A = this chain, B = another copy of it.
Amino acid sequence: MFRIPRHIGIIPDGNRRWAKENGLQKEEGYAFGLEPGRKLLQTAKKFGVQELTYYGFTVDNCKRPKEQVKAFSRACIEAVKSAEQENVKIYVVGNTKSSCFPKELLPYTKHEDFENNCHAGNPKVSISQHAKEMRVNFLINYGWEWDMKNNWASKDIPRVDMVIRWGGMCRLSGFLPIQTVYSDFYIVKDLWPDFKEEQFEDALNWYQKQDITLGG
Binding site for B on A (CB under 8 A): 58, 60-61, 63-64, 144, 148, 169-174, 177-178, 180-187, 210, 213-216
Cβ contacts under 8 Å, A170 to chain B: 170, 184-187
When C-beta atoms are compared, the residue in chain B nearest to A124 turns out to be B145
B216–A63 touching, CB < 8 Å: yes
A172–B180 touching, CB < 8 Å: yes
B64–A216 touching, CB < 8 Å: yes
When C-beta atoms are compared, the residue in chain B nearest to A178 turns out to be B177
When C-beta atoms are compared, the residue in chain B nearest to A172 turns out to be B181
Classify the interface of chain A: helix, strand, loop or mixed.
loop
Q: Please give 17 more A-B residue pairs, beta carbons under 8 A apart, in addition to A60-B215, A170-B187.
A: A58-B215, A61-B215, A64-B216, A144-B181, A169-B184, A169-B210, A170-B185, A170-B186, A171-B182, A171-B183, A171-B210, A172-B181, A173-B182, A173-B213, A174-B215, A177-B177, A185-B185
A173–B181 touching, CB < 8 Å: yes
B185–A181 touching, CB < 8 Å: no
Given contacts A58-B215, A61-B216, contact A182 B178 (CB under 8 A): no
B210–A185 touching, CB < 8 Å: no
A174–B181 touching, CB < 8 Å: yes
Nearest-neighbour CB distance to chain B for A132, whole angstroms, equals 30
B210–A184 touching, CB < 8 Å: no
Nearest-neighbour CB distance to chain B for A96, whole angstroms, equals 19
- 22 examples of A-B residue contacts, CB within 8 angstroms: A60-B215, A60-B216, A61-B216, A63-B216, A64-B216, A144-B178, A144-B215, A148-B178, A169-B184, A170-B184, A170-B185, A170-B187, A171-B183, A171-B184, A172-B181, A172-B182, A173-B213, A174-B181, A174-B182, A177-B177, A177-B178, A185-B185
